[in-house]
C-alpha cells in the first residue's frame, strides 16, 4: 500500500499549493481543456488533481463492490469535501470466489491513493465530484462482471498516469505519481490475468485499448512492447462516455482545471 511514510521526500514540499507552471507547450501535449480558457498554463497540482478525480472513481467502485459503502460513508471524506453524491452500484457477492483477496487489496490500495493525494495536495485538493457507478450498466452483477469493469479502470488509469507523468516538473510530485503508477500496473496485471484465467471478456474502451486474451496478455503496443499513454482528452472521452465536459461516470464533470 502507498502511504505518506513510503515517500522519501521532503514532507513540507508535499503541502505547497503553488507549483511551477508547466507551460503552453505542455498544455498542448496534455490534450486537455482548462476550466478557465484564458489560462495559458497548468500546474503540477492541476495534474495531480486530475489523477485524484480518477482515484475517487476507482475507490468508490471498489468500496461499493466489496463493502457496499462509499468514501463519505466510510469517513474518508466529509460532506463538504464532495460536490455530488456517488450513485449506482451494489455489493458484489465474492463468496467462494478465488479473487476475493485481490478485490480487497484493490479496495484498500485505491482508498489509500485518495488519502495520499488529498494529503499531498493539502488545501489545493479538489473535492470528490458526483459519480455514477452505473454509467456502463455493468460491474456489479457478479464476480465476472466486476472483473470486466475493474480491468478497464486499471488499464485506463495506467495510461492516464503515463500521459501526465512527463509533464510534472516537481520531483516530489513526480516520485509520488511514479509510485502510484507502479501500483496501478500491479493492479492491472492481476485483473488482466484474472480475466484470461476465468475467460471474462472485458471489451476495449477505445481504439488504443488491448483487451486481455491469451494472445495479448499485456496492454502494450505491437512494436516496442511499451505501455500506451493517453492524453487527458482521451481519458475524459472514456470516462465521460463521449460527453464534451461531463457525462458517463461523472454526470457533472470532474473537479479542477483539467476537465
Inform me whether the pLDDT recorded for 44 exceeds 60: yes
- From its phi and psi, is residue 164 left (phi > 0), alpha (psi between -120 and 50) or beta? alpha
How many percent of the chain have pLDDT more than 70?
85
Inform me whether the pLDDT recorded for 4 exceeds 60: no
pLDDT, position 31: 53
Three-class DSSP category at 35: coil
pTM: 0.85
Enumerate residues 6+ apart whose C-beta is below 8 A from 71: 56, 59, 60, 63, 77, 82, 86, 111, 114, 128
Q: Count the neighbouring beta carbons within 10 Å of the beta carbon of residue 257.
A: 20
3-state secondary structure labels for all residues of 125-136: CCCECCEECCCC
Three-class DSSP category at 82: strand
Please, what sign has the CA dihedral across residues 140, 258, 4, 226?
positive
Inform me whether the pLDDT recorded for 243 exceeds 80: yes
**CA gap 216, 195 in Å, rounded:** 12
Chain-centre distance of CA 188, in angstroms? 12
**CA gap 157, 152 in Å, rounded:** 8
pLDDT, position 27: 39
Give the confidence band of 198 by pLDDT, cuts at 50, 70, 90: very high
- Per-residue model confidence as pLDDT tens digits over 95-122: 989 999 999 999 999 999 999 999 999 9
Give the confidence band of 15 by pLDDT, cuts at 50, 70, 90: very low
The cell 516496442 sits on which residue?
224
Amino acid at each position: 500500500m502507498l502511504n505518506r511514510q513510503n515517500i522519501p521526500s521532503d514532507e513540507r514540499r508535499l503541502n505547497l499549493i503553488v507549483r511551477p507552471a508547466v507551460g503552453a507547450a505542455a498544455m498542448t501535449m496534455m490534450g486537455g481543456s482548462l476550466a478557465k480558457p484564458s489560462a495559458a498554463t497548468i500546474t503540477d497540482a492541476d495534474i495531480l488533481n486530475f489523477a485524484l478525480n480518477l482515484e475517487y472513481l476507482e475507490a468508490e467502485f471498489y468500496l461499493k463492490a466489496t463493502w457496499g459503502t462509499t468514501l463519505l460513508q466510510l469517513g474518508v471524506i466529509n460532506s463538504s469535501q464532495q460536490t455530488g453524491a456517488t450513485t449506482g452500484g451494489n455489493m458484489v457477492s465474492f463468496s467462494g470466489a478465488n479473487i476475493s483477496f485481490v478485490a480487497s487489496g484493490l479496495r484498500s490500495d485505491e482508498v489509500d491513493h485518495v488519502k495520499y493525494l488529498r494529503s499531498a495536495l493539502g488545501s489545493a485538493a479538489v473535492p470528490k465530484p458526483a459519480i455514477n457507478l452505473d454509467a456502463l450498466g455493468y460491474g456489479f452483477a457478479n464476480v465476472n462482471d466486476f472483473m470486466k469493469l475493474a480491468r478497464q479502470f486499471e488499464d485506463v488509469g495506467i495510461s492516464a498516469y503515463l500521459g501526465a507523468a512527463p509533464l510534472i516538473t516537481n520531483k516530489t510530485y513526480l516520485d509520488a505519481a511514479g509510485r502510484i503508477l507502479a501500483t496501478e500496473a500491479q493492479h492491472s496485471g492481476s485483473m488482466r490475468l484474472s480475466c484470461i484465467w476465468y475467460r471474462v471478456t472485458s471489451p476495449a474502451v477505445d481504439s488504443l485499448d488491448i483487451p486481455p486474451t491469451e494472445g495479448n496478455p499485456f496492454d502494450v503496443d505491437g512494436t516496442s512492447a511499451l505501455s500506451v499513454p493517453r492524453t487527458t482528452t482521451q481519458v475524459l472521452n472514456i470516462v465521460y462516455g463521449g460527453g464534451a465536459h461531463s457525462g458517463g461516470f461523472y454526470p457533472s464533470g470532474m473537479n479542477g482545471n483539467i476537465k
